[in-house]
């Protein structure tokens, strides 16, 4: 396995500074965001697509720093109703095209979430089976999702993208093993999993069991932890809509590995990934708002150096 970084974590750095910093820090592969929920600090999607010379110059810079691109990331909501969904779907399509130009085979995404009906303007995440209308909502959403993803898989294949790694995340239709398998059954093995333990933790899942269950379907891994704030969670549950910067009041917070769950967990996580046959990148996604960004990433790199053998 190799140590990677979602470069949004150092989005304040220029492209050149980011490459130098990654090289000095011990990062081996970089994951570049292309838009939608990211402001894509290190990749102008249209320019990288349209300007071959510019694209090749940047690829050379990456290689000259001893780095490689693990994947492109276009996480957003391609199932968002109306215009916003159209915009996200366009970014997805262009990301597939750029992957082809860069000879990459993996794109990291999220499944998206439709509205609760054809006239809804916003997505609707149903997480209970009552009242009965929730069944109607979910049935409609799966119709929308299956239609889109069958087309998206074909678009990906046309561009040589072999692996779409979907991240299990709240407010997404695919947020667990069961509905991941449902989407895969309606598409094919182009659809895989981006195993990010952080979201699984706060949704109550066991990332070690998920890794064991999915095995060859794990196409990418994000390294990010969650610290469960026991007192707040005991009063308010782990369903928390407060802003992520309100760290003192939340029921859970993003953390760097070892600051949410023990180093022992992360050792076992890497072992379970190996047992599942995964030998790809461990891509650090830094979102710990209690720690200075560059320090947090360095600590995570050092931990991974110690446990990845």
Beta-bridged to residue 30, according to DSSP, are: 5, 69
Whole-number pLDDT of residue 99: 98
Whole-number pLDDT of residue 158: 98
Whole-number pLDDT of residue 40: 98
Whole-number pLDDT of residue 122: 98
How many Å apart are CA 123 and CA 145, to the nearest integer? 12
How many Å apart are CA 180 and CA 219, to the nearest integer? 13
Task: List domains and CATH numbers for the chain.
Answer: 2-307 (3.20.20.150)
Q: Are 192 and 165 in contact (CB under 8 A)?
A: yes
Whole-number pLDDT of residue 93: 98
Length of the chain: 309
Whole-number pLDDT of residue 133: 97
Walk along the chain (309 residues) in steps of 10 and give the mean pLDDT of each run.
Answer: 98 98 98 98 98 98 98 98 98 98 98 98 96 97 98 98 97 98 98 98 98 97 98 97 97 98 98 97 98 97 93
Whole-number pLDDT of residue 143: 98
Confirm whether pTM is higher than 0.85: yes
């Amino acid at each position: 396995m190799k140590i990677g970084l979602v470069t949004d974590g150092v989005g304040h750095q220029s492209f050149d500074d980011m490459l130098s910093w990654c090289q000095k820090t011990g990062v081996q592969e970089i994951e570049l965001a292309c838009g939608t929920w990211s402001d894509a600090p290190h990749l102008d999607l249209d320019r990288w697509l349209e300007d071959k010379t510019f694209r090749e110059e940047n690829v050379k810079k990456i290689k000259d720093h001893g780095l490689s691109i693990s994947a492109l990331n276009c996480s957003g909501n391609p199932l968002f109703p109306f215009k916003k969904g159209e915009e996200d779907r366009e970014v997805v399509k262009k990301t597939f095209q750029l992957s082809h130009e860069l000879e990459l085979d993996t794109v990291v995404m999220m499944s998206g979430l439709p509205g609760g009906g054809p006239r809804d303007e916003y997505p609707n995440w149903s997480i209970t089976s009552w009242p009965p209308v929730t069944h109607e909502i979910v049935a409609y959403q799966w119709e929308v999702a299956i239609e889109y993803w069958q087309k998206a898989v074909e678009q990906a294949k046309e561009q040589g993208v072999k692996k779409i790694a979907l991240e299990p995340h709240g407010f997404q239709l695919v947020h667990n093993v069961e509905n991941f398998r449902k989407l895969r059954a309606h598409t094919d093995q182009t659809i895989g999993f981006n195993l990010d333990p952080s979201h699984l933790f706060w949704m109550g899942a066991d990332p070690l069991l998920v890794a064991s269950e999915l095995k060859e379907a794990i196409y990418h891994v994000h390294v990010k932890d969650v610290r469960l704030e026991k007192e707040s969670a005991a009063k308010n549950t782990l369903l928390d809509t407060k802003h992520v910067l309100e760290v003192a009041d939340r029921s859970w917070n993003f953390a760097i590995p070892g600051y949410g769950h023990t180093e022992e967990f992360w050792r076992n996580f890497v072992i379970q990934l190996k047992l599942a046959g995964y030998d790809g990148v461990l891509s650090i996604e830094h979102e710990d708002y209690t720690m200075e960004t560059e320090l947090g990433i360095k600590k995570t790199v050092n931990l991974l150096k110690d446990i990845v053998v």
